[in-house]
Structure 1
């Protein structure tokens, strides 16, 4: 079996909410994600899926439990080290694309690479390769305002993969798209995962799309269970 690229073990998280006191959101979450595996995360609103994604993505810390990325334990690591792992090994996509409007599709993918120390030539070649893989070779020089919603979200996927992360974390990445466009974006994601060995955890309300992923997990009562 392939080594896990993301592991959560016994992860708990609670928040203080005014007079309501402490609200326990996660109650011992366990997850193992393997290379090339695309896993759906389904949950009702307010169940804690965004909290789970933030902890998996090292944007938040658990109250207890362990997060491992590529076999490295993250508990107790410095903010600088967590940031370095997040930049190198994790990619994020949200419901809204958050592309930089003043830059072209290609530039939106080039910039994260330059920030990570990649040469301009390499960054341009990777941007061109990723955009070709999702069918956007002819749209490289277009700014986001000139792209459709589906095209913008495909560029957002490419940007998330610019620095060759091991893991993609996505929070309702097709939630803002019509069904046909959603299918197109999802197909591009599955192709990217298959072609790069990327592991992906995708939070979605779209049960049809979830059923096409390798596994479906449901967040229920603060724990992950097979759906």
Structure 2
């Protein structure tokens, strides 16, 4: 049985800029991410980690190479197909929570489910289950501004998992938190990854957190290599 949930094949990406004219951030990057696997992505700032995550999550397109998610080839597909794959099979977590400020924690998790065709009752039940698992169910009716940084990021995790994706992509998910809160929030994230049985590609500068994952990959010269 093929348990590869994310396959990146020979990705190339070049950006045009003033001087020297071109910046090639990906040069044939390859990756296979399997079900239930948590992989750390490390690299210096500006090396292309966010670009790789955006291409993997179908928010950007490579100049060359392929992206396959949950057995579906997204390469060359139109915006509608790419959006459907992303909505169904990919969850995103960023350094900043990006919760909608005018909605409660619960509503922030319900909304993506409604957009995916889930009934309101089922969406509310799923949302409360997720909030309970990350320890913030009691804050379900609070808006983001009334939550601590750690609580905000836990809610962001729940929103990313609202539609039960197969792949989770996270870009410095604890980067805005103090060390103690970062450790607690990371433990929560890993518990969700294991409990949901999904695959996670997590970009981080924190080498201690990276070492707690199944593998560590370094983006070096536009190519993914095992970290030494």
Given the alignment of the two structures, is residue 107 of structure 1 paired with residue 94 of structure 2, yes or no? Answer: no
CA RMSD of the aligned region, Å? 0.9
Asked whether 1:140 is paired with 2:140, we answer: yes
Match of 2:36 in 1: 36
1:26, distance to aligned residue in structure 2 (A)? 0.3
Aligned length: 227
- Measure how far apart 1:138 and its partner are: 1.2
Structure 1 residue 212 corresponds to structure 2 residue 212: yes
| Cα distance in 2 between the residues matched to 1:76 and 1:54 | 16
TM-score, normalization by structure 2:
0.97
1:154 CA displacement? 0.4
Q: Distance in 2 between matches of 1:2 and 1:83?
A: 24
Secondary structure in 1 matching 2:153: helix
Provide the C-alpha distance between the structure 1 equivalents of 2:62 and 2:54, rounded to a whole number of angstroms: 10
Alpha-carbon distance between aligned partners in 1 of 2:103 and 2:24, rounded to the nearest angstrom? 41
Question: Which consecutive residues of structure 1, in runs of 5 or more, have no partner in the other structure?
Answer: none
Say if 2:94 is the partner of 1:94.
Answer: yes
CA distance in structure 2 between the aligned counterparts of 1:2 and 1:41, rounded to whole angstroms: 23
Runs of 4+, deviation exceeding 2 Å? none
Alignment match, 2:61: 61
Contact 1:13 1:26 in 2 (8 A): yes
Unaligned runs of 5+ in 2: none
TM-score if structure 1 supplies the norm length?
0.98
Specify the alignment match of 1:180 in structure 2. 180
1:9 is aligned to 9
Q: Does 1:70 align with 2:101?
A: no
Q: Which residue of 2 aligns with 1:171?
A: 171
SS at match of 1:181: helix
